[in-house]
Structure 1
């Protein structure tokens, strides 16, 4: 019989509200492992911490965890925030630390997953029953649709969402000009851009907008917590891969924790919170997942699954082309330019 794993959390007020800093498994101290992660990981990490502490390698380990928008968290580590283990939405948020000498250049070689700790896909979160019948990317470009997606200047989730929209056009034979036009229409339907993926989820469940662009796992977590929402996995979407690494001066236990996170046991726990198991981990027994569209088959394969490496040339190329911030006289990337033209309220 398949296992059923449920997110045992205390409602949206505590779970879907952004938490700047929390401690798990003990009080924050110089002996605690400092975990710096993007906001979406908060609920799922608690049982992963506990499972690691139940292992031989983790029996004496305490955790001090901090959560926030991925880009903000990465920049905070550069500015001196204590970090032994980092888990971000985007590869570029890790490579920023590599460039500062805070993470080893060969960080991807530390795991059998090429540095990836969690994965998901971009989905459409809709109101319960999907009253507008949203089921495709083209539906989001209608004039009467209002969308929530986070700010790509601070949030990794936002970058995945926007590139999934771009891939829908270019990956199906459209031109880049047509993709710009499509993304511009989505932004025109997006009056505000919350700072993080978690803040975007909170804004949607507390508001009256029609569609939230989000991680599949965020939609599943919201349903596990009783929110009146549904979600749609579009026929074409983008694979989300979230990297993790230890810092060069990490405390004892950080490397053991990274190894545990990319083990079958941890991947099964993450799956219970809606994360798709990461390629490269053997022996994962997929649980039934409460809140999934089909708990017994929670992670259906989209008809067309785009990837950053296969369709965008990797994050090194995609970040510069799409998200360059225009510092030092360099031109803005495609997406910041479109956001400026749209007049959307980019929150920080």
Structure 2
């Protein structure tokens, strides 16, 4: 099912046609666009094209921020070539030669891959926000009215519940989802063996493993499954676009931290873009589309599509994070997702859900 991507109009015309798909990701180059930024002298604008490679979910937010940035002196005259898809696939594509000035991925490890390849500086995450440009939490998207009565993690492993989640082999969104399920068992006093048993039951109820978070949303909206493990912002965006679903914030969930980085050989404008992403204005655009701000001082206001638009980002009872609860991605990725010996990889094989 194809979903209409929300684009905010205003400022310079930025046309970026992309396919939010899994692999291979498709790219499209925007035509040259200039903006006088209110000075009436478009001929003086220096034109720059930047290449953005990202995971599928934040496309709408990035496009809105691009248009906002085009109204500033630094962003004036900038056009974009974009590619969106599953985070791991996108990272591997850049490693293999896909042109990029700026990358926006789901997982830190997808940037680290480019550090190891010599494409991104080792100090990319040395700043105040550790390279994280967007943030969300894991939620359950459910059918309107929540007919299965899904409220917390135990409800997901009932015999009659069918789950959609992206595939951890390609999708960063999937890894956040699965670690949230694992971590809530430990947070509730369970053992590693308890967590493995729970996660095995979770996979036994999985009926679809699309390649990316956006593909998983599309599969759910087309009628597959009873519940979708998803980003909070993805559920909010779907509701903003008029899709029929509800979502549940479980009492224990995992904070999702999405990194952004500039490549070593990027156009200097890319560094200015990254700096702009940490402004209240840019983070406000993220918030409008359901992302939780990564900086203080952002006036969020009402967020259409949120469960409570006037209080769109309630604090969960227990909010896990990757560093404190899983030892960071350097430890979590090989432990859980190693292609041969990872705990989750083996669970997928044992439950017949490895593809």
The answer, yes or no, to whether TM exceeds 0.5 is: yes
Residue aligning to 2:308 = 294
Residue 282 of structure 1 deviates from its aligned partner by: 3.7
Query: 2:56, 2:354 → 1: CA distance?
Result: 20
Residues 132-143 of structure 1 mapped to structure 2, 5 A cutoff? 132-143=148-159
1:334 matched to 2:317 = no
Residues 12-51 of structure 1 mapped to structure 2, 5 A cutoff? 18=21, 20-23=26-29, 26=32, 31-51=48-68
Residue 26 of structure 1 deviates from its aligned partner by: 4.0
Query: 2:158, 2:288 → 1: CA distance?
Result: 34
Given that 2:18 and 2:83 are in contact with CA atoms closer than 8 Å, whether structure 1 keeps it comes out as no
Residues 63-74 of structure 1 mapped to structure 2, 5 A cutoff? 63-74=80-91
* Residue 202 (structure 2) aligned to one of 180, 186, 189: 186
Query: 2:186, 2:226 → 1: CA distance?
Result: 25
Residue aligning to 2:332 = 318
Given that 2:208 and 2:224 are in contact with CA atoms closer than 8 Å, whether structure 1 keeps it comes out as no
Residue 66 of structure 1 deviates from its aligned partner by: 0.6
Residues 1-348 of structure 1 mapped to structure 2, 5 A cutoff? 7-8=6-7, 18=21, 20-23=26-29, 26=32, 31-109=48-126, 111-278=127-294, 281-326=295-340, 332-344=341-353, 346=355
Higher RCO (C-alpha 8 Å, min separation 6): 1
Given that 2:19 and 2:83 are in contact with CA atoms closer than 8 Å, whether structure 1 keeps it comes out as no
Query: 2:326, 2:209 → 1: CA distance?
Result: 24
Residue aligning to 2:40 = none
Tell me how many residue pairs correspond in the alignment: 328
Given that 1:268 and 1:287 are in contact with CA atoms closer than 8 Å, whether structure 2 keeps it comes out as no
Query: 2:334, 2:115 → 1: CA distance?
Result: 17
- Decide whether aligned partners of structure 1 residues 16 and 126 sit closer, same or farther in structure 2, where only a CA change above 3 A counts: farther
Query: 2:229, 2:32 → 1: CA distance?
Result: 35
1:200-251 alpha-carbon deviations (Å, 9 max, x no partner): 0000000241000000000001101111100000000000000000000001
Residue 39 of structure 1 deviates from its aligned partner by: 0.4
Given that 2:143 and 2:245 are in contact with CA atoms closer than 8 Å, whether structure 1 keeps it comes out as yes
Given that 1:192 and 1:345 are in contact with CA atoms closer than 8 Å, whether structure 2 keeps it comes out as no
Given that 2:18 and 2:27 are in contact with CA atoms closer than 8 Å, whether structure 1 keeps it comes out as no
Residue aligning to 1:329 = none
Given that 2:173 and 2:230 are in contact with CA atoms closer than 8 Å, whether structure 1 keeps it comes out as yes
1:128 aligned counterpart, secondary structure: coil
Given that 2:52 and 2:101 are in contact with CA atoms closer than 8 Å, whether structure 1 keeps it comes out as yes
Residue 47 of structure 1 deviates from its aligned partner by: 1.0
Query: 1:228, 1:345 → 2: CA distance?
Result: 30
Query: 2:50, 2:20 → 1: CA distance?
Result: 23
Given that 1:15 and 1:43 are in contact with CA atoms closer than 8 Å, whether structure 2 keeps it comes out as no
Give the unaligned 5+ runs of structure 1.
1-5, 327-331
1:277-327 alpha-carbon deviations (Å, 9 max, x no partner): 01xx2421112100000011000000000000010011100001000112x
Higher percent of residues as helix: 1
Cα root mean square deviation, aligned: 2.0
Residue 113 of structure 1 deviates from its aligned partner by: 1.3
Residue 9 of structure 1 deviates from its aligned partner by: 7.3
- Decide whether aligned partners of structure 1 residues 323 and 36 sit closer, same or farther in structure 2, where only a CA change above 3 A counts: same
Query: 1:233, 1:127 → 2: CA distance?
Result: 14
Query: 1:297, 1:16 → 2: CA distance?
Result: 32
Query: 1:122, 1:68 → 2: CA distance?
Result: 19
